[in-house]
Amino acid sequence: HEVYEQALFIDTAVHNVIEALRDGSILVVIIIVLFLLNLRMSFIILISIPLCFITTALVFSWFGMSVNTMTLGGLAVAVGELVDSAIVGAENIYRRLRENQAKPRGERQPLFKVITNATDEVFTGIVLGTAIVLFVVMPLFALPGVVGRLFTPIGTAYLVSILTSMIVSITVTPVLCSFLLNRKLPDIERDTFLVRFLKQSIKPVVYGSIKFRYAVVVGSIVLCLWALVVVLTMGKDLLPEFNEGSAYVIVMAPPGINLDESSKLGIAVEEAMMKVPEIGASITGRRTGRAEGDEHAIGVNISEIEAELENPKNGVIRPRAEIMADIRGRLAEVPGIITEVQQPIQHRISAVISGARTQIVIKIFGPNLGELRRLGKEVHAAIKDVPGVVDDYVEQQALVPQIRITPKYEELAMHGMKLTHVLSAMETALQGKIFGTVLEGERYFDFIVRGVDTLREQPDTIANLLLTSPTGAKVPLRAVADIERSMGPNEIFHENSRRRIYVMCNVAEADLGSVVNQIDSKLRNDVEFPEGYTWSIGGQYEQMVESTRTMTTLSLVAFFIILSILVVEFRSFPLAVIILLNIPMALIGSVLALVITNTTVNMGALVGFIALCGIASRNGILLISHFITLVHDEGEDLTPQTILRGCQERLTPVLMTALTTNLGLIPLVLAKGEPGKEILYPVALVIFGGLLSSTILDWTITPATVWMFGRKGILRGKKGIAGNGEFDLEESESTQTE
């Protein structure tokens, strides 16, 4: 046997996440350099990445937090966003400096004033955008149980790094611009070829969205409804499946079996497992039973086997689900046992969540143990044929031989004895009692008094156990108690002061949500529960429902807080709603990404969508803020030409922030199933798809809705009105060309 080391999986996971962080950073650097074709500007923007990494590391060090796959994962998800605020700030400063340089020498403003004004111009957008991201991610810290423990480090690293990037963009970025952009800049008309091409490309899109605004709005509503219907009907899981490269098998023999027989069954199971090509001789350990003092004490009838999964000698690499099914098939050939086949972390997560070892636990409550066992068998028969159900069994509550000792209270009184005398003597004889401590060298050992082994090996001899009465007389146990052999339950379990029995199962090649729905339907229609007996479904499903409910409630609270902030800042409810329209636009791409990749809706995907809400909203803030700047500060009338100008001038920062964020996520999006990236994959996938759709649709929905509902809000405080809402597209295009 080899030694099973979970450290190998941890090392692989950390290495994979570091690789994703490295590759994402490289892609961000490449896109910024190619987009700007300006080394000084690229340096000003990219300096945010190392500064954010260093600050996050310092914060983690101050609070005693460790660096692990979750904290590194938070940075890997955020790496593309770390430059977003710097892009917005630096691009606006650069544009204003070029405009200032194009003026006659006598009309030019001092460098310091231009940089200060340019920073102030985007200050609201940067701070509001970051605040929204902070608010929408806050619900992560309220997630209960194991899910909260997994995602809190991701949220912490993400928030600290994003907050640092905002501070850098309004402090370090302007300072670097004053040093590095103080020379003669390229001519004001000189954009890169890519930027010029994109600005020309969005002209018909913007004008078309305003002209056909009703069709745009209706089409957007239809797409959003489609996405909502699809996401509500998609498969659901608590967490994505891990890829640990190992198998964890639990073997349960009948209760009452002795250690030798249980060990023989364990050996037979090992031999069956070794026939699986990916296991071969790589069984790394087996435990049969655990001591009573163990945190997870189990009887000697239960064995735990761990095995590494390796590439088979025949060179044929099979999917993990197929390997697990093969193991289950081999173990089905071993008679007289019940088995569970999982992975180590998956098993431990289930155990921590509900105390049971499986993903789904059907809890049956009632007063009578015999009736509970009958109902358990009936429920098991009802669910075993549900597609996706594996490792299904009823909790082992069996009748086993027992010695029943009934005290004779009259005889006890005759000898001046109490029931406690009997209990104390039996505890000492059968289990042993600590009566002192023995010092041997420098070590202390407990001094235990216990009866001879024959008392436990030959239970009938317990009748001759001598008790000491208060007078010092020796009284045999049979004189003060009736002793008889009987049958009784091996274990009696309680939950919330009620007797209960579990029916347990795992899920394979199906999603948790759909399997639970089918089980629920079976129990309601096929099993009749007598009065006084109830049931509920727990395990990972219960945690999934609780976590989803908590996150949904807190996200709605955060949403209304954000809406209130936007209304106060822009002094317009329609403008606040227009900004937040990017969220349903993002939902479209997120759902499409999940459908294309056949990924279920799990907590990772929900966390990704929550983070996406903040990211997508920033684009709307940038556009609306710039429309207001053009109207109020530069004296523009709010016309289609002004909307086009605002879209074109914000095109570079919006596209660059979207591209850097998405390219930074590509190493995670392409890493489905890799160790360490399992939880990060759905987070990255949802953000990637959602940001793609919201960025594309933003150029249609925002101009259309601003023209329909947002003109009064933008024009508030400026003399004049916005006309009747009609315009000539050809006239607008010719005016823009001139």
Q: Is residue 54 part of a domain?
A: yes
CA distance 716 to 271: 80
- Is there a contact between 49 and 25 (Cβ–Cβ < 8 Å)? yes
- Is there a contact between 274 and 313 (Cβ–Cβ < 8 Å)? no
Q: How confident is the model at residue 389 (pLDDT cuts 50, 70, 90)?
A: very high
Q: Is residue 149 part of a domain?
A: yes
- Is there a contact between 641 and 729 (Cβ–Cβ < 8 Å)? no
Distances (CA, A) of 36 to 44, 46, 91, 472: 12, 12, 9, 98
Do residues 279 and 157 share a domain? no
- Is there a contact between 173 and 44 (Cβ–Cβ < 8 Å)? yes
Do residues 591 and 450 share a domain? no
Do residues 33 and 166 share a domain? yes
Q: Is residue 32 part of a domain?
A: yes
Mean local confidence (pLDDT), 555-561: 86
- Is there a contact between 43 and 13 (Cβ–Cβ < 8 Å)? no
Q: Is residue 375 part of a domain?
A: no
Do residues 266 and 405 share a domain? no
Do residues 408 and 470 share a domain? yes
Do residues 230 and 249 share a domain? no
Mean local confidence (pLDDT), 264-276: 87
Q: Is residue 517 part of a domain?
A: no
* Domain tally, the chain: 3
Domain edge (last residue) among 305, 325, 342: 342
Do residues 202 and 251 share a domain? no
Q: How confident is the model at residue 215 (pLDDT cuts 50, 70, 90)?
A: very high
Do residues 620 and 679 share a domain? yes
Give the global pTM. 0.81
363: nearest Cα among 491, 506, 504: 504
Mean local confidence (pLDDT), 627-642: 85
**628 Cβ neighbours under 8 A, 6+ residues apart:** 570, 714
Do residues 35 and 80 share a domain? yes
Give the CATH number of the domain where residue 155 resides: 1.20.1640.10
Do residues 219 and 285 share a domain? no
Helices and strands (H, E) in the chain, number of each type: 26, 15
Mean local confidence (pLDDT), 576-581: 90
Please give the pLDDT value at position 60: 84
By CB atoms closer than 10 A (0-12, 13-18, 19+), residue 156 is: buried
Domain edge (last residue) among 467, 489, 511: 489
The count of other CB atoms within 10 Å of the CB of residue 140 is: 27
DSSP code for 368 = -
- Is there a contact between 581 and 552 (Cβ–Cβ < 8 Å)? no
Please give the pLDDT value at position 704: 92
Is the pLDDT score of 299 beyond 90? no
Q: Which residue has the higher pLDDT, 377 or 421?
A: 377
Please write the tens of the pLDDT for every residue from 313-341: 666 778 888 888 999 999 988 888 888 89
Q: How confident is the model at residue 649 (pLDDT cuts 50, 70, 90)?
A: confident
Do residues 416 and 302 share a domain? no
Do residues 577 and 666 share a domain? yes
Q: How confident is the model at residue 131 (pLDDT cuts 50, 70, 90)?
A: confident
- Is there a contact between 379 and 534 (Cβ–Cβ < 8 Å)? no
Distances (CA, A) of 257 to 103, 401, 491: 93, 11, 14
Is the pLDDT score of 726 beyond 50? no
Mean of pLDDT over the chain = 84
The residue behind tokens 């949500």 is 513
Domain edge (last residue) among 319, 342, 365: 342
CA distance 144 to 159: 19
Q: What is the 3-state secondary structure (H, E, C) of 307-363?
A: EECCCCCCCCCCCHHHHHHHHHHHHCCCCCCEEEEECHHHHHHHHHHHCCCCCEEEE
Q: Is residue 377 part of a domain?
A: no
Give the CATH number of the domain where residue 456 resides: 3.30.2090.10
Instruction: Choose the weakest-confidence range: 607-611, 640-644, 671-675.
Output: 671-675
Q: Give the structural domain span for 690.
A: 6-239+544-737
Q: Is residue 349 part of a domain?
A: no
Q: Is residue 302 part of a domain?
A: yes
Please give the pLDDT value at position 736: 42
Is the pLDDT score of 30 beyond 50? yes
CA distance 137 to 157: 11
CA distance 469 to 349: 51
Is the pLDDT score of 189 beyond 60? no
**372 Cβ neighbours under 8 A, 6+ residues apart:** 364, 366, 397, 499, 500, 501, 533
- Using DSSP, state whether 12 is helix, strand or coil: helix
How many Å is the maximal CA-CA distance in the chain? 119
Give the CATH number of the domain where residue 249 resides: 3.30.70.1430
Per DSSP, what are the bridge partners of residue 434? 448
Mean local confidence (pLDDT), 404-417: 88
Please give the pLDDT value at position 29: 86
Please give the pLDDT value at position 284: 64
Backbone angles phi, psi at 444, to 5 degrees: -105, 140
Please write the tens of the pLDDT for every residue from 137-170: 888 888 887 888 888 888 888 889 999 999 999 8
